[in-house]
Structure 1
Amino acid sequence: MGTPRILSGMRPTGKLHLGHYTGALENWVVQQNLTNPDGTRGCETCFLIADYHNLTTSLDTREIYQNTIEMLIDWLAAGVDPEKSPVFRQSQIKEHTELFLIFSMLITSSRLERNPTLKEQVRDLNMDSLTYGHLGYPVLQAADILLYKGTLVPVGEDQIPHVEITREIARKFNSHYPHPQSGPVFVEPEPKITKFSRLVGLDGKAKMSKSLGNTILLSDGPEDVMKKMRNAVTDTEKIRRNDPGRPEVCTVFSYHSRFSAPDTIASIAKDCRSGALGCVDCKKMCAAAISLELEPILEKRHNFASDPDTVRDILLEGERKAKTIARHTMGEVRAAMNLGEQ
């Protein structure tokens, strides 16, 4: 079947936080650097800046370019290698919208309305009405994946319905429009169930969110990390230093579980339960562990942020590579559909 290709992406919302790092970026870098026993790449990776997807929930585009650059700097600082993984803006590859239009003819609105992820978004965002673009979000996502012949889609279990819609669209297109020379144009991508390392917000909420102000940014220095960690929620029953604690319900301990060394984690859990460790000292240790991991990211981030021309060139080069792939795919699509020159 050849080397699998993975397309992953994020909406450009500006500087990223630890939730983005543990929930996606770490996994991206691992996938990008996978190798086979013979030294060849384990998979091809492409990383999409999904600026069109931003429009499904906000029409404000005044800061979208600056947010794109800030997010890209965080990607690069975290280890995304543009030599291995093209990085590009969805809006700059016109074939995304062309394929989205074609795919929208292959699926009914009632099928999209049954998408459970969409129902959850409408509920969580308290939406009074649904735009056509938001309803068609999974169709644009299908175009994103299939335009680059993505064969694996890393998702959590809640995103499997989106992958299934992509598979249905690929199957329907192939059935209606087999390529006259090569047969089916698209391979039905397989979901790659990935256990994303979720971080709760500093306030104990289900996830980190800049809108809730409960995040630690990848760009935060040690002083900022410590300042934010002081306000992190702990065990509500551990009021005084010597009170026995319950690390399993403590937000700070959940961060220790990800950023501290294994022997440190065990020691903290033991001392928390016995009352030997107070929350103030526990927070200081946690902040230090987080800052230690962020140190090389901060250094690389500073280098990229101080050289905006290089960041812009990386983006433009990634878009050049993406356009080459996209144009080839759309050539196959048009040939299969008998659109264009005969």
Structure 2
Amino acid sequence: MTTDLPVSPAVRRSAELEAQLAGDPGRFRVLTGDRPTGALHLGHYFGTLHNRVRLQDLGVDVFVLIADYQVLTDRDVAERLTEHVEGLLLDYLAIGIDPARATVFNHSAVPALNQLLLPFLSLVSVAELGRNPTVKDEIAHSRQSAVSGLMYTYPVHQAADILFCKGNLVPVGQDQLPHLEITRTVARRFNERYGNVFPEPDALLSAAPLLLGTDATKMSKSRGNSIALGADADETARLIKGATTDAERHITYEPERRPGVSSLVLLAALCLDRDPHAVAEEIGNGGAAGLKRTVTEAVNAAMAPIRARRAEYAQDMGYVRGVLRAGNERANAVAEATLMEVREAMGMFR
């Protein structure tokens, strides 16, 4: 006898949204993005970046935010900011983000977006911000002895990011649902208080599998355990060669029992577009050496065209910076129109 596992409302709603995307992608506007704190890596690619290109290619209006102001939520200064912003731009272009179909912009260049933070903060209580589990987790893992007030306002700033363009769909992982719920709360309370201005955005849950870092812990830019999209073939081979495995020679795909080995198998499978169990079975008794050889060849083959495009774009940084300028111009026009609508709804319009 088998019993079906219960499906959460968020998962069920996400499945409904996927069906709607296939039928009418033009009715959706997506807001997504990254903090410019370091190089994007393979975890980002298979976790979020690949999906952005998919949505763009479906015909969804995609806004990609480079969240430079939010770098300051958990650190004292934004170090090497220009370098990191330009690195993100190169990665976005290399993976297939098309400036003709997507809007790439950065926080600090869109004043009207950030001005929405003020009325939005009036719609949530300090207690609600303090209870946000994502904020609590970020504070617990902060590198600072005391966090700034910006950390507490982070979910509301994120609401401004999404609502300034009236985004109605946000690709997220399960851990980011509390942030999106704050956005939905802000939109709902604003509409109740001042009139219908904002959509209540839906979560499009990611089905992307979790890739671990080369040390078999969470892949992270700050932990030095990731393989950057901009890494060359030799650097990739070196990092994979040093990855954590285990003492068992026969390779299997068992994520719970063999996390390091299984994450490497999964990485190869994603690059090869194959089932991880089949990849593991093919490696068989090849041991760690055979596994790492397979992974290295798969990653380098899959990333070769992305690396080639990245290198080509890097030869014309004037064009790359122009992409951001054009994106900022569009984002500014959208944000200013939204802010004017907000002021009018609040009785502040002059």
Calculate the TM-score normalised by the size of structure 2.
0.87
Letter in 1 for 2:288: C
**Number of residues paired by the alignment?**
320
CA distance in 1, matches of 2:99, 2:279: 40
Q: Map 1:126-275 to 2 at 5 A.
A: 128-178=145-195, 184-205=196-217, 207-234=218-245, 236-238=246-248, 243-248=249-254, 249=258, 250=261, 251-262=263-274, 266=278, 268-269=280-281, 271-272=283-284, 275=285
CA distance in 1, matches of 2:106, 2:273: 37
The unaligned stretches of length 5 or more in structure 2 are: 1-23
Q: Deviations over 1:119-174 (max 9, x none)?
A: 12222336543321100100000011000000111111111111111111111111
Kept after mapping to 2: 8 A contact 1:73/1:301: yes
Q: Which residue of 1 aligns with 2:7?
A: none
Q: Which of 323, 328, 347 does residue 338 from structure 1 map onto?
A: 347
Kept after mapping to 2: 8 A contact 1:256/1:265: no
Kept after mapping to 2: 8 A contact 1:259/1:290: yes
CA distance in 1, matches of 2:110, 2:216: 39
Q: Which of 285, 294, 312 does residue 285 from structure 1 map onto?
A: 294
Calculate the TM-score normalised by the size of structure 1.
0.89
Q: Which residue of 2 aligns with 1:38?
A: none
| 1:212 counterpart SS class | coil
Letter in 2 for 1:237: A
Which structure has the greater CA radius of gyration? 1
The unaligned stretches of length 5 or more in structure 1 are: 35-40, 179-183
C-alpha root-mean-square deviation of aligned residues, in Å? 1.8
Kept after mapping to 2: 8 A contact 1:7/1:46: yes
- Over 3 Å counting, the alpha-carbon distance change for 1:21 and 1:265 in structure 2 is same
Q: Does residue 23 of the first structure (1) align with residue 47 of the second (2)? A: yes
Q: Does residue 4 of the first structure (1) align with residue 28 of the second (2)? A: yes
CA distance in 2, matches of 1:270, 1:62: 45
Q: 61-70 vs 108-117, which deviates more?
A: 61-70
CA distance in 2, matches of 1:194, 1:254: 16
- Over 3 Å counting, the alpha-carbon distance change for 1:109 and 1:261 in structure 2 is closer
Kept after mapping to 1: 8 A contact 2:42/2:228: yes
Q: Which of 283, 290, 308 does residue 299 from structure 1 map onto?
A: 308
What fraction of aligned residue pairs are identical, expressed as a percent? 37
- Over 3 Å counting, the alpha-carbon distance change for 1:313 and 1:126 in structure 2 is closer
Q: 58-67 vs 216-225, which deviates more?
A: 58-67
CA distance in 1, matches of 2:171, 2:264: 28
CA distance in 2, matches of 1:88, 1:214: 28
- Shift of residue 331, structure 1, vs aligned partner: 1.1
- Over 3 Å counting, the alpha-carbon distance change for 1:6 and 1:263 in structure 2 is closer
Which structure dedicates a bigger proportion of its chain to helix? 2
Kept after mapping to 2: 8 A contact 1:49/1:90: yes
CA distance in 2, matches of 1:62, 1:13: 8
Q: Map 1:30-69 to 2 at 5 A.
A: 30-34=54-58, 41=59, 43-69=60-86
Q: Which residue of 2 aligns with 1:181?
A: none
| 1:136 counterpart SS class | helix
Letter in 2 for 1:199: L
